[in-house]
């Protein structure tokens, strides 16, 4: 199987704090990580490779330091990585991003062969849109399965277990296909000393806008983005509530019950 | 693309086994206001093999017109058939805006429709408004784990499309006497053009679906519970109040309870009449999913926990003392 996994380097949003005075994001000192859902996607891909053979190629779009994220992925199942990086890609919304990645995938396929399956994380934890995967599938004209928790080849067919609101469904999908992955029920593999060393030494070719074949420049970056951010602000949901702290838990509970009852919410 | 050709505000009514999902009906509320401000019609779209109940509900909840695409190929959701159907009616009738519930299937379908058209899509919105100055829908959504809100416009292309989180807007009172125009479209997809097949369906273990979005009362547990067995104290209180059990990401990540119960940025957005947070610190990503609740109660032993900043009633104390005692009080009051 020839498999591609799209990965994004993101700020660890659980470490982001808001400046209480300026009400803006404090991004300094926030570590950059591989988007967790992309890590799950890589594990699902690597498990297919372990069983079926073949290779797992990584593709990331981002600034030059996103190579670090690719290297991390090379140590846990990836075989080869490519970075798509150019100032011309800056300010892209999901439509422009998915177009850029689609054209980059086609360029990489000339070197690595046509991919049978393209895996993406369900969403990236910075933007949380869950749009780029399905949009790549649309540009390529491929079928898709989103919210996957497992995927395996069964008698030549890709079968994907997909999370639904009230359980899951098993979906058979024709290849080539694109699959987006959410948190699976298994752990992702750890790097070994050897795999880390090899990943650190790996050459990661960078594709600039000029290297990506057949791109229409008007569809890249800010110019190619139909959505515009009008404003951003930090949510203020603070309330002046009632604090209850009686001698014992039971007394506090009694007081709370009385207040809730008086407020008519019970 | 001539923007002037695009008129009306559309709401996609997701339909499962003949029944409309709440989020579509919820969306008819804010969509009605936006359509009113634009001086245009509110149109509902139903794709189903059994559409009638959803059509009736869409009319009762305020649609001026309903477009129905009915056919056996729409029995279960498939990306290929549903995207094709929605794309075809959008191309034919040219709406100015299209709102889709941000369910798993809604978020599967919307980006394919928007990118097939080449228009903008805003994901997972929690506020909707009409920006009269620019004549655009103002789509507001959380990002960076709920730390930041962004208002997005789609100024140059049409339709403007957004997915909207379930549970954010409350359903209006339905009016069974309302009348609306019903437009029936025949769009058929040959079976060989549907490239996915549902082989098996798994209902969640434990039987009952977890319906957090429609609950009036939610009692949630977090890291403070310490271990999975302790969810019992939360369940007891939820039962006494006739509510549903929720959970923070910490509790779900620790696998104390299934993801279906998770409230927050990566879980569900809820706005019940009463939300009780037990042993939840109040990380921003949790708050992003429940701050719209009418009354918030926090029970936590750490007096500095951020959950107290957003609580109407904050009890500083050991949840293992407070919650069971509260359950007893509730039982007495309800008896």
d(CA B53, CA B265): 31
Banded pLDDT at A167 (limits 50, 70, 90): confident
Residue from the list A168, A232, A261 with its beta carbon closest to the beta carbon of B148: A232
Banded pLDDT at A165 (limits 50, 70, 90): confident
Residue-wise pLDDT for A135-159, tens only, equals: 999 999 999 999 999 999 999 999 9
User: Between chains, do A230 and B151 touch, taking CB under 8 Å as contact?
Assistant: yes
pLDDT > 80? residue A107: yes
d(CA A181, CA A186): 13
CA-nearest of A150, A239, A144, A85 to B296 is A239
User: Between chains, do B104 and A165 touch, taking CB under 8 Å as contact?
Assistant: yes
| Residue in chain B lying closest to A186 (CA) | B255
| Residue in chain A lying closest to B103 (CA) | A165
Higher pLDDT, B167 or A83: A83
Task: Please tell me the distance in Å from A159's CA to the nearest CA on chain B.
Answer: 9
ipTM metric: 0.92
Burial class (CB in 10 A: 0-12, 13-18, 19+), B217: buried
For chain B, what's the residue count? 335
Task: Please tell me the distance in Å from A210's CA to the nearest CA on chain B.
Answer: 23
pLDDT, mean of residues A117-138: 97
Chain B residues within an 8 Å CB radius of A241: 296, 308, 310-314
pLDDT > 80? residue A21: no
Task: Please tell me the distance in Å from A234's CA to the nearest CA on chain B.
Answer: 5
pLDDT, mean of residues A68-81: 98
CA angle A108, A112, A117 (to 5 degrees): 85
Task: Please tell me the distance in Å from A13's CA to the nearest CA on chain B.
Answer: 6
Chain B residues within an 8 Å CB radius of A246: 317
User: Between chains, do B104 and A94 touch, taking CB under 8 Å as contact?
Assistant: no
Q: State the pLDDT at residue B209.
A: 64
pLDDT, mean of residues A36-57: 98
| Residue in chain B lying closest to A97 (CA) | B115
Residue of B82, B106, B115, B335 to mutate when probing chain A, most A C-beta within 10 A: B115
Residue from the list B143, B157, B198 with its beta carbon closest to the beta carbon of A226: B157
pLDDT > 90? residue A227: yes
3-state helix, strand, coil in chain B (%, to 5): 35, 30, 35
Query: Taking chain B, what is the end-to-end CA distance rounded to the nearest angstrom?
Result: 64
Of A40-49, A188-197, B201-210, which range is least confident? Answer: B201-210
Residue of A164, A219, A225 to mutate when probing chain B, most B C-beta within 10 A: A164
Residues B49/B72, Cβ–Cβ less than 8 Å: yes
Structure tokens at A85: 């990086």
Task: Please tell me the distance in Å from B203's CA to the nearest CA on chain A.
Answer: 5
Residue of A23, A135, A176, A253 to mutate when probing chain B, most B C-beta within 10 A: A253
d(CA A216, CA A224): 9
pLDDT > 80? residue A60: yes
Q: pLDDT tens digits for chain B (335 residues)?
A: 899 999 999 999 999 999 999 999 999 999 999 999 999 999 999 999 999 999 999 999 999 999 999 999 999 999 999 999 999 999 999 999 999 999 999 999 999 999 999 999 999 999 999 999 999 999 999 988 888 899 999 999 999 999 999 989 989 999 999 999 999 999 999 999 999 999 999 986 544 567 888 899 999 999 999 999 999 999 999 999 999 999 999 999 999 998 889 999 888 989 999 999 999 999 988 999 999 899 999 999 999 999 999 999 999 999 999 999 999 999 998 88
User: Between chains, do A173 and B153 touch, taking CB under 8 Å as contact?
Assistant: no
pLDDT > 90? residue A235: no
User: Between chains, do B196 and A147 touch, taking CB under 8 Å as contact?
Assistant: no
Sign of CA dihedral B47, B53, B56, B61: negative
Burial class (CB in 10 A: 0-12, 13-18, 19+), B94: middle
Residue from the list A138, A169, A260 with its beta carbon closest to the beta carbon of B202: A169
What residues does B43 pair with on adjacent strands? B10, B65
pLDDT, mean of residues A29-44: 95
Q: State the pLDDT at residue B205.
A: 55
Structural Rg of chain A based on CA atoms: 22
Q: State the pLDDT at residue A152.
A: 98
Burial class (CB in 10 A: 0-12, 13-18, 19+), A19: exposed
Residue from the list B104, B123, B210 with its beta carbon closest to the beta carbon of A163: B104
| Residue in chain A lying closest to B83 (CA) | A138
Cα A262 to chain centroid distance, Å, stands at 47
d(CA A49, CA A1): 7
Structure tokens at A1: 């199987």
Banded pLDDT at A14 (limits 50, 70, 90): confident
Chain A residues within an 8 Å CB radius of B333: 257, 261, 266
Q: What's the pTM?
A: 0.90
């Amino acid at each position: 199987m020839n498999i591609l996994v799209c990965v994004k380097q993101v700020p660890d949003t659980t470490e982001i704090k808001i400046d209480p005075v300026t009400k803006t994001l404090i991004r300094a000192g926030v570590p950059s990580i591989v988007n967790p859902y992309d890590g799950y996607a890589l594990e699902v891909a690597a498990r297919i490779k372990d069983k079926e053979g073949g290779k797992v190629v990584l593709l990331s779009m981002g600034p030059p330091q996103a190579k670090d994220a690719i290297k991390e992925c090379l140590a846990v199942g990836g075989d080869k990585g490519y970075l798509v990086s150019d100032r011309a890609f800056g300010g892209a919304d999901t439509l422009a991003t998915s177009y850029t990645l689609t054209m980059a995938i086609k360029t990489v396929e000339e070197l690595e062969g046509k991919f049978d399956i393209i895996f993406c994380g369900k969403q990236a934890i910075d933007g949380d849109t869950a749009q780029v995967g399905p949009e790549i599938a649309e540009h390529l004209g491929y079928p898709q399965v989103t919210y996957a928790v497992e995927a395996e080849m069964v008698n030549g067919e890709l079968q994907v277990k997909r999370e639904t609101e009230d359980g899951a469904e098993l979906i058979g999908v024709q290849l080539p296909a694109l699959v987006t992955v959410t948190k699976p029920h298994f752990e992702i593999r750890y790097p070994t000393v050897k795999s880390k060393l090899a990943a650190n030494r790996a050459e990661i070719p960078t594709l600039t806008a000029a290297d990506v074949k057949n791109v229409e420049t008007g569809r890249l970056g800010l110019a190619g983005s139909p959505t515009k951010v009008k404003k951003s602000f930090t949510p203020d949901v603070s309330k002046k509530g009632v604090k209850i702290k009686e001698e014992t838990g039971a007394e506090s509970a009694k007081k709370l019950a009385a207040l809730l009852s008086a407020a008519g919410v019970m | 693309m001539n923007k002037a050709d695009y008129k009306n505000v559309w709401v996609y009514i997701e339909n499962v086994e003949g029944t409309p999902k709440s989020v579509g009906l919820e969306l008819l509320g804010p969509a009605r206001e936006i359509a009113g401000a634009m001086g245009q019609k509110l149109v509902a779209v139903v794709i189903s093999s059994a559409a009638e109940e959803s059509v009736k509900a869409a009319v009762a909840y305020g649609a001026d017109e309903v477009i129905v695409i009915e056919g056996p190929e729409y029995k279960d959701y498939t990306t290929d058939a549903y995207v094709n159907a929605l794309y075809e009616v959008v191309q034919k009738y040219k709406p100015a805006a299209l709102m889709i519930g941000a369910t798993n299937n809604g978020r599967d379908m919307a980006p394919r429709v928007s990118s097939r058209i080449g228009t903008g899509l805003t994901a997972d919105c929690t506020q909707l408004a009409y920006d009269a100055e620019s004549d655009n829908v103002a789509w507001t959504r959380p990002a960076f784990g709920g730390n930041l809100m962004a208002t997005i416009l789609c100024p140059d292309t049409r339709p403007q499309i957004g997915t909207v989180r379930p549970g954010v807007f409350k359903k209006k009172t339905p009016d069974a006497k309302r009348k609306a125009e019903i437009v029936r479209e025949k769009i058929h997809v040959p079976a060989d053009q549907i490239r996915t097949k549902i082989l098996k369906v798994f209902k969640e273990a434990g039987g009952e679906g977890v319906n957090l979005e429609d609950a009036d009362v939610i009692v949630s547990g977090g890291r403070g519970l310490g271990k999975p067995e302790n969810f019992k104290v939360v369940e007891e209180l939820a039962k006494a109040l006739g509510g549903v059990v929720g959970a923070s990401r910490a509790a779900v990540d620790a696998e104390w309870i299934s993801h279906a119960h998770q409230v927050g940025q990566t879980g569900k957005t809820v706005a019940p009449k009463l939300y009780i947070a037990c042993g939840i610190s109040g990380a921003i990503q949790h708050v992003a999913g429940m701050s719209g609740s009418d009354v918030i109660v926090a029970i936590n032993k750490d007096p500095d926990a951020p959950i107290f900043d957003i609580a109407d009633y904050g009890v500083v104390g050991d949840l293992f003392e407070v919650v069971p005692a509260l359950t007893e009080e509730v039982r007495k009051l309800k008896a």
